[in-house]
Amino acid sequence: MVFQNITGTTNTSVVINLVCSSAVGCSNLHFGGFNVRGPNGTDVFMCSNVQNVTGLNGV
């Protein structure tokens, strides 16, 4: 799955909250041109049951 050219801001530090099924999960996710920022410059990526993510710093 590809998420491409997403830009914006959030009102919390969580910029991604991705929860996939524990039975199946999500894999091979790519974020290209992802530029979403939280209000204080501290961006939090919350991912559950996710494997092989590319294009995000800190995940």
Mean pLDDT across 33-58: 90
What gap in Å lies between CA 23 and CA 3, rounded to an integer?
23
pLDDT at 58: 61
What is the tens place of the pLDDT at every residue in 12-37? Answer: 999 999 999 999 999 999 999 999 99
How does residue 41 score in pLDDT terms, banded at 50, 70 and 90?
confident
Distance CA 59, CA 51 (A): 10
A 10 A CB-CB count for 55 gives 14
